[in-house]
Structure 1
Amino acid sequence: MNQQYYDAVVAMEQAGADSEFVQGWQNGYLHNPMREEQRLNEAFEAGYEAGKSRDLEAYKEWVN
């Protein structure tokens, strides 16, 4: 298990980050393909880019 991934997801969830951002971050971090266009939104795309770059702080802008 990747401890950095686990710790980051727990921190995002405990902080109350937007769930779409968290899902995007997880997909980007794991290098999964982007969602299909009709299911994209701003939070998911921001999370995807942050996950791809392994940004562990970007979620703070998406806390509800």
Structure 2
Amino acid sequence: MNMEYYNAVVAMEKAGVDPEFLQGWQGGYLLNPMREEQRLTEAYEAGYAAGQEKDMDAYKEWVKG
């Protein structure tokens, strides 16, 4: 198991990050194809870009509340 990935996801979930950002981050980190265009959101695209860069701190801008 990739503990870096696991720990980052747990931290984002505990912080209450926007679920769209988290889904994007997971997809980008795992190098999955991006969602189809009509389902893209600003949060998802930001998460996807951060995931591709393995950025573990970008989520802090997307914490709800």
Q: TM-score normalised by the shorter chain: which range applies?
A: over 0.9
Aligned length: 64
CA distance in 2, matches of 1:52, 1:10: 18
TM-score by length of 2: 0.98
Query: Identity percentage over the alignment?
Result: 72
For normalisation by structure 1, the TM-score amounts to: 0.99
SS at match of 2:25: helix
Which consecutive residues of structure 2, in runs of 5 or more, have no partner in the other structure?
none
**Could you tell me which residue of structure 1 aligns to residue 7 of structure 2?**
7
Structure 1 unaligned regions, length at least 5: none
Q: Deviations over 1:10-54 (max 9, x none)?
A: 000000000000000000000000000000000000000000000
Alignment of 1:7-46 (within 5 A): 7-46=7-46
Structure 2 CA distance for aligned equivalents of residues 25 and 34 of structure 1? 10
Computed over aligned residues only, the root mean square deviation of the Cα atoms, in angstroms, reads 0.2
CA distance in structure 1 between the partners assigned to 2:34 and 2:21 by the alignment: 13
